Amino acid sequence: MELRQCGNSDLKLSVVGIGCWAFGGDEGDYWGAQDQTDVNALVRRAVELGINYFDTAEIYNNGRSETSLGLALQGLPRDRVIIGSKVTPAHCYHDTLIESCEASLRRLGTDYIDLYMIHWPLHPHSIRHVTNDETVINNPPTVEEAATALIKLQQQGKIRHIGVSNFAKNRLEEILGLGVKVAANQLHYSLFARAIEDEVLPYCQTQGIGILGYMTILQGILAGKFKTLAEIPAPRRRTRHFHHASTSLSRHNEEGAEAELQAALTQLHALADEVQIPMAHLAIRWAFANPGITSALVGARNVAQLEDNARAGAEPLSKELVARLNQITQPLKEKLGPSFDYYEHTSQDRTR
């Protein structure tokens, strides 16, 4: 498993990382239950395969993801794993952020978090998605107080590196202007979600900021399971790829890009058959073929899924295949436009 330097930091991450959002299970039908025995086996096998990055957040399943990951890491050498976690924007007031970090440390059962990230930019619209408290929404934490708290935690040794998630260029410029050394920016990136290529990815490269690409197989849509859009479960049709009427769970109110999405999906199936590479492997290998990507995050519910995803990290794609994949998905990229908040109307982009 290839390891890559994360920007200008001393972190070296596996090109395939584990997204832990499903760990701990949820109380609804989005992820469903997740057996801790499966998580334990998955994490241990991942480390055996050379995967060292595990990504979670305090908001994932109300903290159960962090707790589940912490349980799975018990008994493993701490220096063999890199833990990334995220603080929700509503908790970025100075004292609240420190309390959130300490709560995450307790759930994870560790003395330090390797990469601690602000989950979304700090403004009312992004905060409204994580709290109904109008006092917080109307008086959001400032970047200055969040930065002060993060630097304090770093000085105390409770976090090793500071990161952000879903930050567009203007938001990055703001926090960098405060003198904060940002090690990584976690961004939505896949064959079907390429908007970061236009501005924020090149900017991160010039600033020495690593990029962690999440939703690499777009919650299974790029896994080769679905040949038509109608087969895709409703909870996975919430993005701007789909017409807003496609599911009652959608909130973007846009017409979507279903014709371009279906065309790309059909062509990808044909290409996977032609080159005899599973579609999920094409998607994962395409993501880290971009030198700006430090680690491509994928989810797995059991060891079999993990081992299949890990095989994708064993061999790079040829330049010819990368070019063909870019060509296939270019019309979809153009239709979706430059916004990389795929859940909101483009005028309500939370990343900016």
**Active site (catalytic) residues:** 60
Q: Where are the beta strands (DSSP E) in the chain?
A: 3-5, 12-14, 16-19, 53-55, 82-87, 113-118, 159-165, 182-188, 210-214, 295-298
- How many CA atoms are closer than 13 Å to the CA of 290, on its beta-carbon side? 26
Helix-, strand-, coil-residue percentages of the chain, each rounded to 5: 45, 15, 40
Are 257 and 332 in contact, with CB atoms under 8 Å apart? Answer: yes
| CB atoms inside a 10 Å sphere around CB 208 | 14
Identify the bridge partners of residue 83 per DSSP, sorted by sequence position: 54
DSSP codes, 229-274: GGGS-GGG--STTS-GGG-TT--S-----HHHHHHHHHHHHHHHHH
Compute the distance between CA of residue 108 and CA of residue 297 in angstroms, rounded to an integer: 19
Check if the beta carbon of residue 153 is closer than 8 Å to that of residue 159: yes
Beta strand pairing call for 295-298 and 3-5: unpaired
